[in-house]
Structure 1
Amino acid sequence: MPLNYQNQMQLLQDILRNHQEDCCGSVSECEQVERLVKSLMANSNIHENIKPILQEVYQYSHAGISSSNLDTHITSHQQNLSQWVDGMNTYS
């Protein structure tokens, strides 16, 4: 059963929140984030103000996949992670 828009947003926020709280994550989580963002960006009902946030999240996850030290990558984006989740809550 495919995830609907709200489920996808919640899952994306959960993963980003976990990265922020735990200061660590996995490559598979970054890959999941990429898939979620692609799916959300393809949704015609998405709020226009979420698109720039999703693009930043996509760049973050894409860089995380190829990072030599994923935990350092996540730690260096702590402020962004918080802002992204807050922004998604505002427009979702």
Structure 2
Amino acid sequence: MPLNYEDQINLLTDILKNHQADCCGSPSEYEQLGRLVKSLTLNCNIDQSVKSVLKEIEEYSQNGLNSTNINQHIENYQMTLSQWVSSFKNFS
């Protein structure tokens, strides 16, 4: 069963919250973020402001996958993770 828009946003937000709270993650989480972003950007009804945040998250995900130290990468993004989580609260 495919996830609807709200489910995808909730899952995306949950992963970002976990990265923010735990300061650690895994390659599979970055891959999941990438898949969610791609799916959400295909939604024609999505607001442009959401698309710009999704583009940033896609870059974060790709950089995390290519990082030699995933936990340091997450630590470097702590402030940004907080901003993204807050922005999704405003979009929903």
TM category (shorter chain) comes to: over 0.9
Give the Å deviation of 1:48: 1.6
| 1:12 paired to 2:12 | yes
What is the aligned partner in structure 2 of residue 87 from structure 1? 87
TM-score using structure 1 length: 0.97
* TM-score (norm. length: structure 2): 0.97
Give ranges in structure 2 of 5+ residues lacking alignment. none
- Corresponding residue for residue 36 of structure 1: 36
Equivalent position of 1:52 in the other structure: 52
Aligned identity (percent) is 53
> 1:20-75, CA deviations, whole angstroms, 9 ceiling, x for partnerless residues?
00000000000000000000000011122111110000000100001000000000
SS at match of 2:52: helix
The letter for the 1-side match of 2:23 is C
Structure 2 Cα separation of the partners of residues 42 and 85 of structure 1: 21
Q: How many residues align?
A: 92
Alignment partners' CA distance in 2, 1:73 and 1:13: 18
How far off its partner does 1:89 sit? 1.3
Residue 64 of structure 2 is matched in structure 1 by 64
Q: Which runs of 4+ in 1 moved over 3 A?
A: none
